Chain A
Amino acid sequence: MMHSIPQVFQSSYVNPAYDYGSRIHLGLPFMSSISAHHQNTIFNPSRLFTVSEGKTVLDTDYFLTNIRDENYLGVDLAADVLSFGMPIEAHYISLAIRERVSAQITLPGDMLRFPFTGNASFDDTGNVLDFSGLAIDLNRYMEYGFGWQFDTKSGWYLGARVKYLQGQENITTGTSNITWTTDLETYTWSYQGELDIRTSGVSYLIDSLSGNGVLENGNFTRAIFSGQNSGYGIDFGIGKDFTDRFSVYASIVDLGKINWKKGNQNFNAQGGEFSFVGIELTEAMLGADSSFSDSLDSTIDDLLNSLNSTLNTKKNSYSYSSGLRTRVHLNANYKVLKKEAMTGTIGLVIQADLFNGPEMPSFTLMYSHEFKGRLNAALSYSIADRDFSNLGLALCLKSGPILFYTTFDNLLWLNMTSISYDDQKPSNYPSYSRNASIHLGMNLILGKAQSYKNTSPRLN
């Protein structure tokens, strides 16, 4: 929805080519931009549960039929520590320091189906449970972005943001293709595949958060502010006014990576194939004087050691790099209402997140209504992640030097389900949406708006 309010400085986070005016922008620490995005492709309580005769009933058919090969639970958070922007002639340069966190758990479909099928519903699931894609990913970093935006005389808009990144914590799941095969005849289990998990800085964070040493040893502060893992990122944007009513924009943002070098702990189990045919009944276990439970424990230890050996589990602290959550945006706008006091714009936005590989993009149709540059309100409808119930809203209000804005991609998130377990205090959780984003903040806009477009410097 940030596409619907391009006059807000933070819209440059989705397309740095957006022209956000000729005034000086000042973003106050932790006030100018706070955004959150939540993704939940499977556990939507209102769709999963029904209430029948006073009892909560799981809609198993719905659950099972909507499980995908890979299912996501994730959250992206970002907050501006500081942002500043000013026009210099036909250019607009800016600086934005942001704290960004993204986390995602990927659950393979077979893992979610397992409680309902087990491993022996051979007619339904075959004999191979595929846990490929099981992953946990976490990325927290500070972003120092230097932005540039330029309007050409011929109606082109160009923009870019070069970002220096300072990594704090990271968990990256690399190769993950574990499969569990149950032999149809003997029920022997065999495991194949590779699991590669790389972490950085996590132990520092855990150490700082445990015990009483948080404030004493400075670990917490160090964990928050002193990432020693550097990286680079870049955003590109371009736009074109084809007519005075029709324009098209495109951008790719968060293209880059962070090199993780400090505090790394990597775990790799690769190339193994391990079979389990049952607890080995050895002579020692069968012996009259032996304790079966002791022998069983010993056998299980041996089994785990064997598993560890077979899977060639290794730990290391090698450096590695992780990519950013790269996204591409394409939007076209048409001003259906163009008056002096107000404008009305219809837009179509196509967005795609490339982090989980090529996926079906989301489509958003929106209408934005602007009143004399003081108020901008927008409504949107999106089809995202095979979900058709996404109704969004954006609001931007300028009063004096203060510009307040908020966007909400999915109002259905406001529809909460109160979940209580037994007699515990109930918790609220959005009933429907798979994807929802909220972005709000308050900027200071200084200076006087001038007519500069394509001809003269924006600020004299």
Chain B
Amino acid sequence: MRLSLHPVFIILIATVLLASCVKEELNIGPDTTFPGLDPAFAIPLAHTVIGLGELVPALNLSNMVYSESGQILAISFTQRLFEFGLEDLIALPDQDISETFVANLFTAAIINSGLAGDQIPISQNFNLPFDFPNGEELDSIRFQSASLDIHVTSSFKHDIDVEMLIPELTEMGVEFQRTLSLDYSGNLPVTGDFSFDISNTKLDFTDPGNDNALNILANFIITHSGEFTNPGDSLHFELSLSANSIHSAYGYLGQYNGIAEVDTQQVNLFEQFGAAGLFFADPAIELLITNTSGIPIEVDFTSLYAPENSITTLITGGALEDIPVVQAAQFIGDIAYTTHRIDNSNTSPMLSDMLNEGPVNLIYTAQGLTNPEGYAYNFVQDTSKIACDATVILPLFGYIDGYHFTDTLDVGISSELGLNNGGPINLDDVELLTLRIIADNGLPAEARVQVVFLDEFYEEVDSLFMSKAGHMLVSPGLVNTFLDPSHPDFGRVLTRSRAITDVQLSLERLRKLIDGNVKHLIIKIVAGTSFATQNQIVKFFPEDGIEVQISARIETRIDLSE
């Protein structure tokens, strides 16, 4: 068989040669061009929900705002107005008392009947009532630091030892007992000064029938000198009890009205808020009075004074004086709380009139009276306090105009846009960059937004919006003004409003930003409630916020050979 000559093989060979004879060469490298490689990318760059809660740290108001979902957001700041301790609540004046023993005819005869060296005992009881200024009826007082000073004057021509016992004064449970010695040396009068430290001792008046009086039992031992005793010779005591500090006191501590306090609270909120116009429709001052003593007290604010105000400088009466009696603690360790709210409903002129002038200082004048309802069993210790904290609460219910704040964001503009060297796209590939800012405003405030690009030295490189008029204007959410102002939802945002603004950055401008080494952005917002100049009142809730999304559309023309 002659296979090699058959036409079939000729066709086969020809086909193979024809199919395989062509060989192309392609050099895919830097010179290769890819026409039409001009994709456009839409990139969501950043997103944030600037809720009112998020504004708080920016305003340095972290400790000043309380928020609770469903409740109106409020700015609050608290200051301790006054604090009374034991020293303020009980005053124990120095007790100066005196007693005199006088030898009558009979006593003198007895003494004269003796011989030199004989000792003649004489006992005397002295009852010395304490002198309290406010009708105190104490059960006991424990001194922290106190002293008892005794000055004795004798006209007897004998040596005398006085053994003095005070049952009401105990020291570690032992009755106070001391001996006073007077030595006659031929001159009269014979005097002696004695001082005793009675710190940490206790005065106990709990014996039935004891009406805050000291019983002093004095035993005189007269040592006969051999000289004559005349009727009328006397021994005179002057006692002075001085308490520098008291550890505790029990009993009825009387009605003490020497409590007065004047304090100033700085309201620096208004400076921080930086608003040109600010109105709070429903401000309040909440008082929280805590009492760890067993003394009820009546506190009145005689006035609330705003010295920097021009119109409403003074509020008196009303709720300032209607503060309920501060209840006493029931036992040691107990804390009694008393609250009181001062707001527009119980002040005249209204509290808002004073606060909306933006005072820098509020000056309170307060006074107090213990046991305002008469007798009560009290206790007080050196650690006991009656303290009053005043919280100024400014619910964001009102209007605001020209509020402004700024925040700084550190960014690398080229990396944010994915235009780093070595990336798939570089700056030369960009034909047009369009930044799209989408704002969904759920705040009852309109806002103007500007973004400023800064270099590493915080020098301005460019601004997103070229002119003030070109600032992005975000309309406020639709506010519910269709209800009665007393309705909880009055002034509340019903629906958010959306604003979309495109800013085209030309290649030259983008290059300026990147070459300018932009490292920081400053976001400036100027906000105001709608119709602020017409005093439109709106409410701010913690859940209110403005949602901002920054997206970019990059149109490119990529040349891979570059």
Which residues does A use to contact B, with CB under 8 Å? 45-46, 49, 51, 54-58, 60-61, 64, 114-121, 182, 185-189, 276-283, 285-288, 292, 341, 369, 371-372, 374-375, 377, 379, 391, 393, 395, 411-412, 414-422, 426, 431
Contacts and interface: CB of A to CB of B under 8 A. Distances in A.
A37 B228 CA distance: 151
B41 A120 contact: yes
Interface string B542-555: 00000001111111
A415 B25 contact: no
Interface in B21-35: 21-35
A415 B438 CA distance: 55
Contacts of A281: 46-48, 409
B43 interface: yes
Nearest to B410: A292
Contact of B11 (A292, A379, A395, A426): A379
Given A418-B25, A421-B28, A187 B40 contact: no
13 contacts: A58-B32, A116-B38, A116-B39, A120-B39, A120-B553, A186-B551, A278-B44, A278-B45, A288-B408, A292-B411, A369-B8, A411-B20, A417-B24
Nearest to B409: A286
B23 A395 contact: no
B40 A117 contact: yes
B54 interface: yes
Contacts of A64: 36
Contacts of A58: 32-37
B12 A379 contact: yes
Contacts of B211: none
Contacts of A415: 19-24
A419 B24 CA distance: 9
Contacts of A422: 29-30
B9 interface: yes
A187 B31 contact: no
Nearest to A369: B8
B16 A431 contact: no
B534 to A, nearest CB: 33
Contacts of A61: 36
Contacts of A377: 8-9, 12
B193 interface: no
B472 to A, nearest CB: 15
B42 interface: yes
Contact of B47 (A45, A120, A277, A391): A277
A187 B553 contact: yes
B93 interface: no
Contact of A414 (B1, B16, B409, B411): B16
Contacts of B16: 393, 411, 414
Given A280-B47, A415-B23, 17 more contacts: A46-B24, A49-B32, A58-B32, A115-B37, A118-B556, A119-B42, A185-B500, A187-B553, A188-B549, A277-B44, A286-B408, A286-B409, A377-B9, A391-B19, A411-B16, A414-B19, A417-B23
B142 interface: no
A60 B36 contact: yes
B500 to A, nearest CB: 7
A341 B1 CA distance: 9
Given A56-B32, A60-B34, A277-B549, A118 B39 contact: yes
B475 to A, nearest CB: 17
What are the 3 tightest A-B residue pairs by CB atom distance, in nearest-first order?
A: A118-B39, A414-B20, A411-B19
A188 B38 CA distance: 21
B57 interface: yes
B27 A56 contact: yes
Contacts of A287: 57
Nearest to A285: B409
B15 interface: yes
A18 B43 CA distance: 60
B11 A187 contact: no
Contacts of B555: 120
B53 to A, nearest CB: 9
A221 to B, nearest CB: 39
A372 B28 CA distance: 50
B407 interface: yes
B436 interface: yes
B3 interface: yes
Contact of B36 (A116, A188, A391): A116
A341 B20 CA distance: 31
A120 B42 contact: yes
Contacts of A414: 16, 19-20
Nearest to B11: A379
Contacts of B26: 45, 49, 51, 56, 417-420
Contact of B438 (A116, A182, A186): A186
A166 B95 CA distance: 112
A125 to B, nearest CB: 10
Given A58-B34, A415-B22, A187 B436 contact: yes
B15 A379 contact: yes
Contacts of A395: 12
A104 B555 CA distance: 34
Contact of A286 (B1, B407, B500): B407
Given A278-B46, A393-B12, A411-B16, A55 B40 contact: no
Contacts of A117: 39-40
Interface string B410-423: 11000000000000
Contacts of A374: 1
Contacts of B41: 118-120
Nearest to B6: A371
A393 B16 CA distance: 8
A60 B35 contact: yes
B57 A419 contact: no
A415 B18 CA distance: 9
Contacts of A120: 39-42, 553-555
Contacts of B30: 422
A431 B19 contact: no
A119 B9 CA distance: 55
A114 B424 CA distance: 13
B409 A57 contact: no
Interface in B449-495: none
Given A279-B47, A281-B48, A371-B1, A121 B40 contact: yes
Contacts of B8: 369, 377
Contacts of A116: 36-39
B310 to A, nearest CB: 37
B32 A55 contact: yes
A138 B8 CA distance: 40
Nearest to B553: A120
A277 B6 CA distance: 73
A317 B41 CA distance: 39
A272 to B, nearest CB: 18
Nearest to A376: B8
A89 B22 CA distance: 51
B27 A283 contact: no
Contact of A121 (B39, B43, B58, B409): B39
A379 B19 CA distance: 13
A377 B54 CA distance: 82
A115 to B, nearest CB: 6
Nearest to A419: B26
Contacts of B43: 187
Nearest to B39: A118
A186 B47 CA distance: 11
A374 B41 CA distance: 64
Contacts of A118: 39-42, 554, 556
B23 A186 contact: no
Given A58-B33, A60-B34, A422-B30, A393 B42 contact: no
Given A375-B3, A411-B19, A417 B25 contact: yes
Contacts of A418: 23-26
B409 A55 contact: no
Nearest to A295: B410
A54 B25 CA distance: 11
A417 B28 CA distance: 11
Contacts of B552: 187
